[in-house]
Chain A
Amino acid sequence: MKLDAKIPEGPLQEKWSRYKATCRLVSPNNKKKLDIIVVGTGLAGSSAAASLAEMGYRVKTFCFQDSPRRAHSVAAQGGVNASKNYQNDGDSAFRMFYDTLKGGDFRAREANVYRLAECSANLIDQAVAQGVPFAREYGGYLANRSFGGVQVSRTFYARGQTGQQLLLGAYSALSRQVAEGNVQLFARHEMLDLVVIDGKARGIIARNLDTGEIERHAAHTVVLATGGYGKIYYLSTLAMGCNGSAIWRAHKKGAGFAAASWTQIHPTCLPQSGAYQSKLTLMSESLRNDGRIWVPKKAGDDRPPGEIPEEERDYYLERRYPAFGNLAPRDIASRAAKERIDAGFGVGPQRNAVYLDFAHAIEEYGIDTIRERYGNLFRMYEKITGHNAYKRPMMISPAAHFSMGGLWVDYELMTTIPGLFAIGECNFSDHGANRLGANSLLQACVDGYFILPYTIGSYLAGELGTGKISPEAPEFDAAEQAVRDQLARLLSIQGSRTATDYHKELGALLYDKCGVLRTREGLQQAIDDIRALRADFWQNLKVPGSAAQVNSELEKAGRVADYLELAEVMCYDALTREESCGAHFREEYQTAEGEAQRRDGEFQFVSVWGYTGPEEEPELHREGLVFQTIQPSVRSYK
């Protein structure tokens, strides 16, 4: 596996403009001869499909939801970062670049991160032009708020529904292209395999989820924008349908999988209330602007929060990280919460939560201000838990949220399979070992609106002589047969356990061994356990019905089968990285104060995993990280 990041020459600030000025272009009359498949219709997928169609390419777009507007970008609450410096607090593209790189614990490529910061301002312009109703000040100008891990206010927001509004903006742009006939939309379709012909990505096999039909779709290039795989933990902030199948199946066809184990555990989610639980709802990180996190100083304190006096409360984030306090980055806040919970200071009926308290903020700003800032979040909290957070503190708990890891991509967002691009959360590029809040929407949009439209042209300029790709090629036959065989196999087992049952067990295992805290022994044990679980899955799975009908159990089973393979790579990834960085915290590698200990000498690289065959150990490749502009420092938020 050759890992050439293809970073342009020149000073950091000029790399992207140089690239844009010199990359190969496709002329307008040639674009309509080129077909592009975009899988996924979240922010990355919709924005890419809309942009590419607008440029003149012929686009097919796929999503498993019943409408592109439902992709899980819709659920992002807090906001989107951009270095506009509207607040005159000293923000700039460079500062944003530095914050992001530091937030990711210096485990991302400088050039990619700088480009993200550089394009951020343009995204706000773009979204406003589409009619995204961002929050505004009374003078009519855009408002900002603060997010974790930074000391400026650069987050733009639309109440607690920023992701929804940005997605609807992208969806409207996509809809416009569908109406103009430039995009063919395939909703309720799930990609089940990638077709590679002569080493290049040339199409996909998809299943129509409403009829069960297996379809072939050919194109000159395939773009994956399928989001994160945090649902592998079963209990997560992700949607029920979120999955890693598209990228995993691309991985099995040769795409390198980077930093598989770097999963962000989000500190402010609603705690699990019972075994039936299907997801953990995220409460926006923006709540940490005004909410204070604490646990009782006495372990097992059973008093209601209101009866615990001030001096018997431990505001542990403020205590440990005085400079950033409650706005410490997510990985740090999650780890600190887990540390308290594991030490017996957890609150709530299951003792698995910490308090997020607004009493001080209400006292300081008044209940109306708090209601205006977070009213919808408080209401959501009450709907789910039945408790009023104006009166008593919220109870929150960490939950799996974002996958920093994903398909390895170069500067052009192309994977190790030529012609296969990965954009948005499904790739590994900009966030390093930990993503800062409000950078996820940004990355998805920037990849789709501003980067891929340029870089894909560079690839497609070399494809003009290829002619139409035929879906009758033998590679399509083979891929379709493999898909049919797998579906038949899943249906034929007829054992006694459902796919969800396996998924829950896998999730619990990963939380325990490959979650916030990891150890060598735990990960080694996990690999064995996952193998055993996978073997049991293929012996004992029960999927009702047939493949020729609507069958959500069959869909789930296919996804869980992939998770059972991906989970193993995650554990190898975490096991071989003998350092702590960002979201990856190895118990063996910590400072005396219990903070993460990076080992730049040995591990200043990105682990990229190659597929070697079923039941084979994955193969590790390394992309070394070179820091030319800044020097990695100890990531301190104290």
Chain B
Amino acid sequence: MRIQLKIWRQENARAQGRMVDYELADINPEMSFLEMLDVLNEQLIQRGDMPVEFDHDCREGICGQCGLFINGRAHGPQAATTTCQLHMRHFRDGDTIYVEPFRSRAFPVIKDLRIDRSAFDRIIQAGGYISTRTGDAPEANALPIGHKVAEAAFDAAACIGCGACVATCKNASAALFTGAKVSHLAMLPQGRPEAAERARKMVQQMEDEGFGHCTNTGACEVECPQEISIRHIARMNFEYNRAGVLRK
């Protein structure tokens, strides 16, 4: 295949960026999207140019580090797919492909397509855990948890922290990311004691990081590689409101 690329290039966090055109011939449709960028980078290095910096690591859809805005969509056109799992067979010979970083004020560009998502870490640090000591813990089977509850908790816990939800949100809201963690822990009996306080702290941290509000458009759940439902946002809202109502 032959493809045209329009890629966001930005020297560093402070520099002005711009879209730059590239052309690639002989792209194999079985290649992954990132392998296609590898090919481009090898060519750029040979030409004496700087390769395009992009986030990636596991290349099997689970680490959440890759995240490109491809042809106007977070992680490209395929549903429930991370950028690394997107393959060139989903494009046509001669296509022009736009590649941009995930955008949001809370995700500043570091270089080219590489962004800083440490805001997500700080949201988790604000309360995305169960305050248990490591080491000794009570016998696991002493606390039965229904099959369906465990499965539902897993659905929320499956979040890979890629940031596609923020990138696709018209308000750059991190509600799906935060909601998934609040919901995962609120559903489990171990997480109940802290559920209210956790929701309050994480919601406030989300605010302090500069993310926008949630208008429930549902775009995030459409783009989420793990197909996390926006019902988890509602659960976060519920826990947050419950915290407010029950506060002494």
Contact = CB atoms under 8 A, between A and B. Distances in A.
A453 interface: yes
Given A130-B132, A550-B53, A140 B190 contact: no
B118 A240 contact: no
Given A187-B121, A279-B60, A380-B60, A136 B130 contact: no
A91 to B, nearest CB: 14
A96 to B, nearest CB: 16
A485 B128 CA distance: 42
Interface in A189-214: 210
B188 A131 contact: yes
A126 interface: yes
Interface string A432-451: 00000000000000000110
Query: Which one of B49, B130, B134, B150 has the greatest number of beta carbons of chain A within 10 Å?
Result: B134
B210 interface: no
Interface string B94-127: 0000000000000000110010111011001111
B58 interface: yes
Given A175-B121, A545-B50, A240 B134 contact: no
Contacts of B111: 549-550
Contact of A125 (B45, B85, B140, B145): B140
A112 interface: no
A136 B31 CA distance: 38
A595 interface: no
B207 interface: no
A168 interface: yes
A240 B129 contact: no
B35 A278 contact: yes
B interface residue count range (under 10 / 10 to 19 / 20 to 34 / 35 or more): 35 or more
Nearest to A76: B62
B124 A74 contact: no
Q: Which secondary structure characterizes the binding site on chain B?
A: loop
B179 interface: no
Interface stretch (B1-9, B156-164, B235-243): B156-164
A525 interface: no
B56 A126 contact: no
B56 to A, nearest CB: 6
Nearest to A281: B60
A51 B147 CA distance: 30
A266 interface: no
A402 to B, nearest CB: 15
Interface in A119-177: 122, 124-142, 158-159, 161, 164-165, 168, 171-173, 175-176
Interface in A473-505: 496, 498, 500-501
A31 interface: no
A545 B49 CA distance: 8
A128 B143 contact: yes
A221 interface: no
Contacts of A127: 140
Contact of B57 (A133, A240, A549): A240
A2 to B, nearest CB: 32
Contact of A70 (B64, B145, B146): B64
Contacts of B166: none
Given A51-B135, A130-B130, A380 B57 contact: no
Contact of A137 (B85, B147, B188): B147
Contact of B153 (A51, A71, A133, A282): A133
B125 A179 contact: yes
A437 B184 CA distance: 28
Contact of B137 (A51, A125, A550): A125
Given A172-B130, A175-B128, A239-B57, A550 B158 contact: no
Interface in B207-235: none
Contacts of B125: 175-176, 178-179
Given A549-B12, A550-B110, 15 more contacts: A67-B161, A84-B141, A125-B137, A126-B134, A129-B130, A131-B157, A136-B151, A140-B144, A164-B62, A172-B130, A185-B121, A274-B31, A276-B35, A279-B60, A550-B53
Nearest first, the 6 A-B pairs at minimum CB distance are: A140-B144, A172-B129, A129-B137, A125-B137, A133-B154, A179-B125
Interface of B: 12, 28, 30-32, 34-35, 38-39, 42, 44-46, 48-51, 53, 55-65, 78, 80-81, 85, 87, 89, 110-111, 114, 116-118, 120-121, 124-141, 143-147, 150-151, 153-154, 157-158, 160-161, 184-185, 188, 190-191
10 contacts: A54-B133, A130-B132, A131-B184, A132-B157, A140-B147, A178-B121, A281-B60, A384-B85, A384-B87, A386-B87
